[in-house]
Amino acid sequence: MSTPESRLQELGITLPLPAKPIANYVGVVHSGSLLVVSGQLPLHNGKLFTTGKLGASVSIETAVEAARYSMINVIAQVQVIVGSLSCVKRVVRLGGFIACTADFIDHATVMNGASDLAVAVFGDAGYHARSTIGVPSLPLDAPIEVEGLFEII
């Protein structure tokens, strides 16, 4: 039987240690059967994968990959709390913040980098509700930030 961990392995993904918060908050809050994961930046090998804004210096292709890295970091935060990702009953919601110029309109395509990975890792339990919002800037000049809400057993 396929598990989220085996799917990650098939995808060639090794979860990193979760990033420490850069301000006065925690990475995850566990309340009842819910996990709320704070916004995660597209860190890869401990550094931002890319910086800048969509519609200016960051291409859609690069931003999709950045969204995927942000989602990897969301999943890493979940794993620290639950131990086994098989404890995830449902990815309830993802929120995406896209740093972009005022005329950029392809937010949904960018956020699919995170959404597609959620489904690839969690199967049917990975289908989720979602909001994607364009913003003028994000911490450390990141082009994307992804947050999540998970139901666990």
The model carries a pTM of 0.97
Decide if 16 is inside a domain: no
Domain count, the chain: 1
- Token duo for residue 29: 């809050």
Any idea what the CATH number is for the domain that residue 62 is in?
3.30.1330.40
Domain encompassing residue 57: 28-104+128-153
Decide if 55 is inside a domain: yes
- Summarize pLDDT for 72-111 with one digit per residue, the tens: 999 999 999 999 999 999 999 999 999 999 999 999 999 9
The DSSP element (H or E) to which 72 belongs, if any, is helix 60-82
Decide if 18 is inside a domain: no
Decide if 37 is inside a domain: yes
Identify the bridge partners of residue 44 per DSSP, sorted by sequence position.
47
Decide if 97 is inside a domain: yes
pLDDT value at position 52?
98
pLDDT value at position 20?
87
pLDDT value at position 152?
97
Decide if 42 is inside a domain: yes
Identify the bridge partners of residue 29 per DSSP, sorted by sequence position.
36
Decide if 60 is inside a domain: yes
pLDDT value at position 76?
98
pLDDT value at position 22?
84
- Residues with Cβ within 8 Å of residue 104, at least 6 apart in sequence: 53, 54, 55, 98, 134
- Rounded to the nearest 10 degrees, the angle between the axes of helix 60-82 and helix 107-122 is 40
CA distance readout (Å), 117 to 73, 94, 103, 111, 120:
11, 12, 27, 10, 5
Given a contact cutoff of 8 angstroms between Cβ atoms, the answer to whether 80 and 18 are in contact is: yes
Decide if 13 is inside a domain: no
Residues of the chain with pLDDT under 70: none
- Residues with Cβ within 8 Å of residue 108, at least 6 apart in sequence: 132
- Token duo for residue 38: 């704070």
Torsional sign, CA 140, 116, 4, 7? negative
pLDDT value at position 153?
94
